[in-house]
Structure 1
Amino acid sequence: MQYIPCVAFAAAAAGCSTYAPVAQNTPKLRVPEQFATAADTGSMAALPWQRFFTDSSLRALIDTALHNNPDLLSAVQHMQEAQANVLQSRAALLPVVNATVSAGLDHYGKYTMNGVGNDDTNLSQNVKGKRKIPDPTPDLFVGLRSSWEADLWGKLQQRKKAAVARYLATGMGRHLLVTELVAAVASLYYQLVALDREQAIVQENITLQANALELVKVQKLGGRATELAVQQFNAQLLNTQAIAYEKKQQAIALENELNNLLGRFALPVLRSKDFAGMGDSAAAGIPAALLQRRPDIQQAAFELEASKADVQAARAAFFPSLVLSPYTGFNAFRASVLFNGASLAYGVLGSVTAPILNRRELKANFSVADARQQVAFQQYRKTAVQAYNEVLTQLEQIRNAGEIARLKQQELEQLTNGVATAKDLYMAGYANYLEVITTQKNLLDASLESIEVQRRKTVATINLYKALGGGWDWP
């Protein structure tokens, strides 16, 4: 028995001297002071989506998506799962208390310490009646047993810290889904608006081309046009009618894609007739605000904090652990006296354990945690760099789309005048039918391209709002 304290002390000393490695240092992330193409201090992302989007039909669609989208509803369940992990990590810091009812039966050999001790005890004059030890000997216990690990080195606290950080990361993941969902609904909405306007232009051209076809037919009867001219005008009309059906199918596909985001079966999508109903400000703010505003950056930051806590917990596992195991209850070897006051027993057992033979496993766990911390930092850095570049891309897209729209408007004016001039010259015999067809086709193409440019600028504004971290202010 005298060797037991020595062994315990040696184990604790060995644990204290166990090699506990030091984690690699993660460098700090530095971002530019301002965006290359903007020097705004305020950011459009500060506006909640209810104020950024003023179109009532669009806001109704976004609200429906936020309440019905399956991916967003699944994200809520992932948050509940992460919250349960937090509760589990907190519970590890508290004692475990179990109500225990146990019964056992032992027969000790005559040449064992317990066998000899029981015989000597029964021969004592002080042991009489129910206090005599029966053979075989029952062991009955009804009471409470507890176990508690003292968090001497912060291992359990670090595990709790990691669980909390991952729960917060899950919350930011939900915010990221909200941001992406709001932007996706708005982008599809304005794509539908663009298609409506394109279909209207196509229908206008179908009417104009049908009138031109009838005019050429009349001219043919009068000998002023050929059958070839009639065929060319008719072919142009058929081509434009085919384009109308293509635009119609594109609108149907986009409506169904939008209905998927809304989590509902196919229903008509009510929408406005123009690109208004959205904030036109392109204020980007400062890059440092992205680190606090973008949900994906915040998510990566919390994952980095969790990985750091994992490293500290893995390091703390190298040191000895102290576990206390108290108990209290009724303990007896006869059922008839089990609940007698004299059968009340209590005690506590303390144990110190230190790793000796499993050091390689602990080192491996530490190396894994440390490597994951470095990966988490690189992911954080990658997300921040990507966010900065996304903002720059959308700022340039808005600026360039504005210039393209201005030039396209001038082109439309020239082509509109050109179509009228070509008709007049054709009627006067100074232009052939191919020139009329060509100018009409060029006008149709330019009109559709002009709408496409407006759509790209609108979507770029939406993407800038998302890239800056706007749109997730939702309960």
Structure 2
Amino acid sequence: MKHLVLPSLLVLVTALAGCAGVDPSPLPETRPVDAYKEASGPWIAASEDAEPLRPTAWWKRFEDPDLDRLQDQLLADSPDLAAALARYQQARAATDAVRSAQYPTLGLGASATRNRQSDRRPLRGASSPDIYNNGLIGLNLDYEIDLWGRVSQQVKAGAAREHAAKADLAGAQLSLQTQLADTLLSLRGADREIALLTNTEQAYSKAATMIAERHRAGLSSGLDLARAENQRDSARSQLQQMQGQRALLEHAIAAQVGVPASQFSLAPRIMPELVPAVPLGLPSTLLERRPDIVSAQQRVAAANASVGVARTAFFPAITLGALLGYQSDVFSNVIAAPNMFWTIGPALAVNLLDGGRRQAEVARAKASLDEAGQTYRSVVLQAFTQVEDQLALLNSFGQAASSEQSAVAAATRALELANNRYKDGAASYLDVVTAQTAALQAERNALSLTTRQRRATVQLVRALGGGWSDDS
């Protein structure tokens, strides 16, 4: 009968360990997507032979040397990116702290005290001294036997959180990189508008001077002169406003790359109005290319492991302890063979009654798992929505830009005709002013649409995850 006790205990322990475990929870199902609905146009590289989107070089597609330089400066000096890196390092350190529970702890203690016993101490011996010394030096070893998987589940949860923090870091980096690119492209658009308004203001000034000379010669009315001066001053005002907007964009870039705004400047540069083609890839790869999706996946894994940790609270904690040292009432002779003592053995602790606290903790962990799963599902849905949004904007901006170019051409012809008719005396200067206003607005609209196309391209890169993958 005695020979059956140990095998029976082993079977019981194995069964209990199986009850304490938790199977991996599957991710919530999302509807498979075969193709992007809005994918069309020359700005989409949908062929299988297209160069893939690379996480460290996507901005080079805009062929702007200032953007390349500033992206390097962002990685080196951005305070926001440094803060994101610090958050990841905290998660990694927390995981290392959890992993340490898998190993024994060994401590060294020493004490030297002089004590006086109470005369009425219970069970005090008749020959026991009133005052005595107590010197103690000892090593203490503790190790929790992870029979139910509590520690291993904690390590799994910690590793998943660390992985999620790593993806969060990548997401923060991508967000800052796209924000920088978006701001610089806006600044480049402002450069082009400033150049247009500068030329326009100069042309209007020449026209106002010409009308003033004609007015003095009696060939133009004062009304014509007032209209010409109004056009010149209006163009000058628009130029000054755009210069102010450019200054704000320049200051924003300075903050993004970690430089005081008063010490940062970017020279105006008229870059080609390049709208690079973005390789989409298959919709299924979006789940691997977006760091926020990977982060949500890992948080599901962490929540799943936390359920296992909560379940192990129903089982006894088994620790193995050992103590080895020397103890003596003579401080000068503590370390001696007769003074050695040791103790070793297992300890078992189980919580028999807690008013439902452990059951509530399991319920809380399961609810957290459900929340993490639905958060993952929401992130996936938002990801596909953001991709479709930017594709739709690129399509509409592209079509609008084509129509606006036709409008620019028509407005330019109308301005030429109005100028010729005015010089021939067949029209008033009001016709010229109207044509000038329409032509300037059409040109500004065309420039704005191109800038918005380029910015939508950046946001599409962000929606696609910037080419990031778990191995990046």
Give the TM interval when normalised to the shorter protein: 0.7 to 0.9
Q: Contact 2:324–2:343 (CA<8 Å) still a contact in 1?
A: yes
Distance in 1 of aligned mates of 2:434 and 2:387: 40
SS of the residue aligned with 2:353?
A: coil
2:90 equivalent in structure 1: 81
Distance in 1 of aligned mates of 2:63 and 2:417: 42
Distance in 2 of aligned mates of 1:170 and 1:369: 20
AA partner of residue 268 (structure 1): S
2:42 equivalent in structure 1: none
SS of the residue aligned with 1:346?
A: strand
1:144 equivalent in structure 2: 139
Residue 256 (structure 1) aligned with residue 265 (structure 2)? no
Q: Give the count of matched residue pairs.
A: 447
2:388 equivalent in structure 1: 392
2:28 equivalent in structure 1: 27
Q: String of CA shifts for 1:12-44, please: whole Å, max 9, x gaps.
A: 99xx69x98989876333441221233655675
Offset, 1:89 = 0.3
Q: String of CA shifts for 1:310-351, please: whole Å, max 9, x gaps.
A: 111111111111011111111345556532212222221321
2:416 equivalent in structure 1: 420
AA partner of residue 241 (structure 2): E
2:282 equivalent in structure 1: 286
Residue 449 (structure 1) aligned with residue 445 (structure 2)? yes
SS of the residue aligned with 2:323?
A: strand
Pairwise mapping of residues 6-17 of structure 1 onto structure 2 (< 5 A)?
Answer: none
Residue 237 (structure 1) aligned with residue 239 (structure 2)? no
Offset, 1:471 = 6.2
Distance in 1 of aligned mates of 2:278 and 2:120: 93
2:186 equivalent in structure 1: 191
SS of the residue aligned with 2:351?
A: coil
Residue 36 (structure 1) aligned with residue 37 (structure 2)? yes
Q: Contact 2:53–2:278 (CA<8 Å) still a contact in 1?
A: no
2:57 equivalent in structure 1: 49
1:177 equivalent in structure 2: 172
AA partner of residue 152 (structure 2): Q
Residue 373 (structure 1) aligned with residue 373 (structure 2)? no
TM-score by length of 1: 0.86
AA partner of residue 417 (structure 2): T
Distance in 2 of aligned mates of 1:61 and 1:27: 40
AA partner of residue 297 (structure 2): A
Q: Which runs of 5+ in 1 are unaligned?
A: 1-8, 123-132
CA RMSD of aligned residues (A): 3.0
Q: Which protein has the larger Cα radius of gyration, Structure 1 or Structure 2? A: 1
Cα 1:291–1:360 shift into 2, 3 Å: same
2:353 to 347, 354, 357: 357
TM-score by length of 2: 0.86
Q: Contact 1:43–1:284 (CA<8 Å) still a contact in 2?
A: no
Offset, 1:198 = 0.6
Distance in 2 of aligned mates of 1:111 and 1:454: 92
Distance in 2 of aligned mates of 1:325 and 1:106: 31
Q: String of CA shifts for 1:114-143, please: whole Å, max 9, x gaps.
A: 54xx67xx8xxxxxxxxxx75667654311
Distance in 1 of aligned mates of 2:67 and 2:98: 43
Q: Contact 1:49–1:470 (CA<8 Å) still a contact in 2?
A: no
Residue 93 (structure 1) aligned with residue 102 (structure 2)? yes
1:130 equivalent in structure 2: none
Offset, 1:110 = 9.0
Q: Contact 2:324–2:341 (CA<8 Å) still a contact in 1?
A: yes
More displaced, 326-335 or 81-90?
326-335
SS of the residue aligned with 2:138?
A: strand
SS of the residue aligned with 2:176?
A: helix
AA partner of residue 215 (structure 1): M
Distance in 2 of aligned mates of 1:30 and 1:327: 59
Offset, 1:106 = 7.7
AA partner of residue 170 (structure 1): A
AA partner of residue 156 (structure 2): K
Cα 1:468–1:271 shift into 2, 3 Å: farther
Q: Contact 1:193–1:275 (CA<8 Å) still a contact in 2?
A: no
Distance in 1 of aligned mates of 2:423 and 2:334: 119
Distance in 2 of aligned mates of 1:151 and 1:220: 99
Offset, 1:271 = 5.5
More displaced, 454-463 or 202-211?
202-211
SS of the residue aligned with 2:455?
A: helix
Q: Contact 1:89–1:159 (CA<8 Å) still a contact in 2?
A: yes
Q: String of CA shifts for 1:275-329, please: whole Å, max 9, x gaps.
A: 45x6711321122211111111111112221111111111111111101111111
Offset, 1:429 = 2.0
1:324 to 320, 323, 329: 320
Offset, 1:364 = 2.2
2:210 equivalent in structure 1: 215
Cα 1:428–1:142 shift into 2, 3 Å: same
Q: Contact 1:44–1:465 (CA<8 Å) still a contact in 2?
A: no
Distance in 1 of aligned mates of 2:168 and 2:392: 28
Q: Contact 1:43–1:285 (CA<8 Å) still a contact in 2?
A: no
Pairwise mapping of residues 298-313 of structure 1 onto structure 2 (< 5 A)?
Answer: 298-313=294-309
Distance in 1 of aligned mates of 2:26 and 2:416: 72
AA partner of residue 141 (structure 1): L
More displaced, 307-316 or 357-366?
357-366
SS of the residue aligned with 1:186?
A: helix
AA partner of residue 83 (structure 2): S
Q: Contact 2:401–2:449 (CA<8 Å) still a contact in 1?
A: yes
Distance in 1 of aligned mates of 2:22 and 2:146: 20
2:223 equivalent in structure 1: 228
Q: Contact 1:163–1:306 (CA<8 Å) still a contact in 2?
A: yes
Residue 165 (structure 1) aligned with residue 165 (structure 2)? no
Offset, 1:257 = 0.6
Q: Contact 2:52–2:467 (CA<8 Å) still a contact in 1?
A: no
Distance in 2 of aligned mates of 1:285 and 1:453: 26
Residue 401 (structure 1) aligned with residue 402 (structure 2)? no
